[in-house]
Amino acid sequence: MPLLDQGVSRMRSVVTALLVFGALVAPLHPAAAAPIIREPFEDAAWHEDEWIDVRASDVANSSLVQGFIGSGLGVTVPAGTRRGVGPLKRPDPTPDEAWFRYHLRLRSWDAVDSGKLPGLSGVYSFTAKGCLPSVPGAPGWSARVLFEATGTEGAGPGQVRLGYYVYHLDQPGICGEQLHWDPGVIDIGRWYCVQGHVKLNTPGESDGVLEAWLDGTRVFRRTGMAFRRASETEVGIREFWLNVFFGGTSSTPNDLNLTVDQVVVSTERRVGCAEPFIDDNGSAHEGAIEELHARGLLFGCGFQLYCPAQTLTRAEVAALLSRVLRLPAATTDPFDDDEGHWGEDVINRLAAAGIARGCNPPANDRFCPDAPVSRAELAAMMTRAYRLPAGEIDAFNDDDGHWAEADINALAAAGITRGCGDGEFCPDVSLPRDQAATLFLRAADRAAAT
C-alpha cells in the first residue's frame, strides 16, 4: 500500500485512496473504556452526528485528510476570516468532571496573533466567550486550548506556545485569561497528543481543577478554581467545543491549516494517547517508525498498521523522499509505466530533481513503481537526494564492482547505513519497511543538522 497522502476530502467514497484503512473506527485506548464523546473523523458526514452549531463556513473550511490514525479533520482558517470551525458536541447527562484527548498537527501555520483550539466548556447563553464573562443570571465557563502567535512567548521560528484560554469567575479581566503551559511549545508540522482535565468546583467554593498534558507529560495544573456560583448547580461540563478560531476581533492575513484527530472525552479518567500503529510494538525500529509518523512524513499500510516486514516499493520511496525534501510539482512526465499510478506525481517530482532514474537502463523510460526497492537502489536515491559526499573508505565487502558501490560508501560515510551485518551491505536484497524507517530518520536528522 502507498505511503502517500493522496489529498483525501472524499473519505466516504475513497477510503482506499487513504491507504485502505480497513476498519472505519479506531480502537479506543484502554484509558477511555467508556467515553461520553468520541469522534475519530472517519466519515465525511461527521458533522451530521450530534454536533450542534455547525455553520456553512465550518463545512466549507474543513475536509477529511490524512490523520493521526486513518483520516483526520483538516481545518483551514481562510485569510481575511477568524473562524475555522466551531461546532459543539454535548454529553448526556452533563458531568461535573471530564477528561479530553485529541491529536493535533499544525500543518502550515503562521499565526500573527493568538487564538483558540478545541477544549471543554459550559456555554449556556452569551457569556464565557467574546469577552463577555459569566454574570449572575447568565452563567457559563470555558477552557479552550490557547495558541499564541507563531514564534512568540518563548517559542522559536516554526514553533507555537500552547496554553488554556479560560473564562472563570476569578479571571482578571473581561476577556478569557491566558494560562500558558510549561513546557508547552510545539513544532509546526508535528503530531502531538493534547490531553486535558476539568473538574468543576463545588458550587460556591473554589476547589475546581484544570490540568493539561502534552504527549503524556503534564504541562499545566491549577487548583482552587471557581467556574460556578453557589446558586449555579445546573452549570456543568456542557460540551466539547471543536473550536479553531483566530484572534479576538481581527482576521488572519494568511491561511492557517491544521489537522485534529481522535477526539475522546471521558468521565472516568485521563484518556491515553492513541497508537498510530499496533504492529510495530517491540520492533527495534519502532522508535524511528513513530518519530517519522509524528513528523507527518510516514504513513501506514492499513488502519493502525505499518507492516514492518513488508518490502518497500520504489513508489513508496519516492513518496517519502518527496515529503522529506518538500519537492515542488514537476512539469515533465519521464516514465511510461506510472500513468494513473497513485505515485505518479511524486515520481515525477523526484525525476525532475535528478533523484529518481529509470529501472531499465539505458532507456530509463520505465520506473517500475511497484517493484520492491533494493538496498542499493535506496542508497543511490538517498545519495542523490541529500547530495552526500563520496565515502573515503570501502565500507562493505560484498559490493565490490557493484553499480551502486560509490553510493553505498557515501551512505555509510554519512552514518546513515551500517549494513546488513558481518561487514556486508546486501545491495540487491529488498528493504523491509521497518529498516527503511531507521534509514530515513537518520538521513532526515543528518540533513537537518547540516
**pLDDT value at position 49?**
86
Mean pLDDT of 282-311: 94
Cα dihedral 291→293→299→304 (10° resolution): 90
One-letter amino acid of 132? L
How far apart (Å, rounded) are the C-alpha atoms in residues 219 and 64? Answer: 30
**pLDDT value at position 381?**
96
Q: Are the CB atoms for 48 and 290 separated by under 8 Å?
A: no
Q: What is the pTM of this model?
A: 0.88
- Vertex 106, ends 105 and 107: CA angle to 5°? 100
Q: What's the chain's average pLDDT? A: 91
Lowest-confidence segment of 1-10, 101-110, 255-264, 441-450 by average pLDDT: 1-10
328-376, pLDDT tens digit by residue? 999 999 999 999 999 999 999 999 999 999 999 999 999 999 999 999 9
Q: Are the CB atoms for 305 and 329 separated by under 8 Å?
A: no
The answer on pLDDT for 8 being more than 50 is no
Mean pLDDT of 8-14: 30
Phi-psi group of 57: left, alpha or beta (phi > 0 → left; psi -120 to 50 → alpha; rest → beta): alpha
**pLDDT value at position 24?**
28
The answer on pLDDT for 120 being more than 90 is yes
Mean pLDDT of 6-16: 30
How far apart (Å, rounded) are the C-alpha atoms in residues 190 and 68? Answer: 10
